[in-house]
Amino acid sequence: MAIHSRHLLAIEGLHPPQIAAMLDLAESYVLLSRTGTTPRDRLRGRTLINLFFEDSTRTRTSFELAGKRLGADVINMPVATSSVNKGETLLDTASTLNAMNCDLLVIRHASSGAPALLARKVDAAVINAGDGTHEHPTQALLDALTIRRRLGGLQGLVVAICGDILHSRVARSNIHLLSAMGSRVRVVGPPTLIPPEAERLGIEVFHDMKAGLAGADVVMALRLQQERMTGGLVPSTREYFRFFGLDAEKLAYAKPQALVMHPGPMNRGVEIASRVADDPDRSVIREQVEMGVAVRMAVLDMLAHAGIPGGPRP
Ligand code: NCD
């Protein structure tokens, strides 16, 4: 019997058929969303709680929309004004949520591992919407869906992930997903922003945009996460842009039709030039947002029913 995962805590550890199953279901939800014909009874009677301990606009809204398009009751817990700020521990919050019989719990937290901790304490299916610098699995799924729809697949593609890899849970989830699906992943950035474990993950490391982008099919720019930086990891944002900002000149090293991606929110003129971000021929940044809703619909649907199918046979 195949194993069905009950939570979505990370991409690491998922098997290619599980990733493919989520992308396939998401694909069908893209079309149904565009025609306004999503099945509103799919999650009827189910409760989804959004528990965001870190700021978020697009991810929280995306989960909310995804739940509503399938008919779930969606509640956004106002964490900033809740009893969490009165000193309640994460585990006390978990037992409160348990008593409310919620079915799906979406959590974003500044500490890596917080969603996994909650998953052990609640009956609900837990979805990690970003934990510290660890993982952001639905972001990697939406990126993969965007690439797959544009380029026809993931196998054999050269994907260059550029910038602040060190602080990026998006990069980590993408590295695991793309490697599992047969892409060749490169990370490109200054040595201070590349995590020491990069080489161990089996990816290529570049400190120069020209070499790192050469022949790439996909170029993914990441936000410079200054709020997570303690020391002076970059000299100045101007200097950073000069060497690592994705502008037309540096993009020219990649394949002529290479896709430009960014998970948002963007720092224009820091890690990406507006001209590139807004170039309708190259940038798929808006499409990523659309794919985000479809991917989250697929994840919510699977976890509310049998779980994520396609795990290894024991
Ligand atoms: C990312 C995140 O929060 O990890 N944003 C997102 O979910 N779209 C990336 C970032 O904050 O830079």
211-258 pLDDT per residue, tens: 999 999 999 999 999 887 776 777 788 999 999 999 999 999 999 999
Instruction: Compute, in angstroms, the gap from residue 132 CA to the centroid of ligand 1.
Output: 10
Contact residues for 286 (Cβ-Cβ < 8 A; gap 6+) = none
Mutate to test the pocket of ligand 1, among 56, 143, 170 (most ligand atoms within 8 A of CB): 170
> d(Cα 30, Cα 292) in Å, to the nearest integer?
10
Q: Is the pLDDT of residue 2 over 60?
A: no
Mutate to test the pocket of ligand 1, among 57, 62, 138, 139 (most ligand atoms within 8 A of CB): 139
For residue 170, the ligand 1 atom closest to its alpha carbon is 4
Structure tokens at 235: 């000299």
Q: Which residues pair with 218 in a beta bridge?
A: 159, 259
| Single-letter code of the amino acid located at 150 | R
**48 secondary structure, DSSP code:** E
Instruction: Compute, in angstroms, the gap from residue 125 CA to the centroid of ligand 1.
Output: 22
**Between residues 174 and 98, which one has the greater pLDDT?**
174
Q: Which of 116-125, 194-203, 248-257, 265-274 has the lowest mean pLDDT?
A: 194-203
Instruction: Compute, in angstroms, the gap from residue 174 CA to the centroid of ligand 1.
Output: 12
Distances (CA, A) of 229 to 12, 161, 233, 234, 304: 25, 19, 7, 9, 37
**Between residues 3 and 268, which one has the greater pLDDT?**
268
Most confident of 74-83, 86-95, 295-304: 295-304
What mean pLDDT do residues 18-37 have? 97
Please, what is the average pLDDT of the chain?
93
Structure tokens at 178: 């793309």
Q: Which residues pair with 135 in a beta bridge?
A: 131
Task: Check residue 236 and give its pLDDT.
Answer: 87
Q: Is 263 in the pocket of ligand 1 (CB under 6 A)?
A: yes
**103 secondary structure, DSSP code:** S
Q: DSSP H helical segments within 100-235, as ranges? A: 114-119, 137-151, 169-180, 209-213
Task: Check residue 83 and give its pLDDT.
Answer: 65
DSSP H/E element including 249: helix 248-251
Instruction: Compute, in angstroms, the gap from residue 8 CA to the centroid of ligand 1.
Output: 17
Task: Check residue 1 and give its pLDDT.
Answer: 41
Instruction: Compute, in angstroms, the gap from residue 92 CA to the centroid of ligand 1.
Output: 27
Q: Is 115 in the pocket of ligand 1 (CB under 6 A)?
A: no
For residue 264, the ligand 1 atom closest to its alpha carbon is 8
Q: Is 307 in the pocket of ligand 1 (CB under 6 A)?
A: no
Distances (CA, A) of 175 to 6, 204, 216: 23, 11, 15
CB 57 within 8 A of CB 263: no
On the 0-12 / 13-18 / 19+ scale of CB atoms within 10 A, 85 is exposed
> d(Cα 284, Cα 296) in Å, to the nearest integer?
18
- Work out the number of other CB atoms within 10 angstroms of the CB of residue 185: 23
pLDDT digits (tens, 9 = 90+) for 195-210: 988 888 889 999 999 9
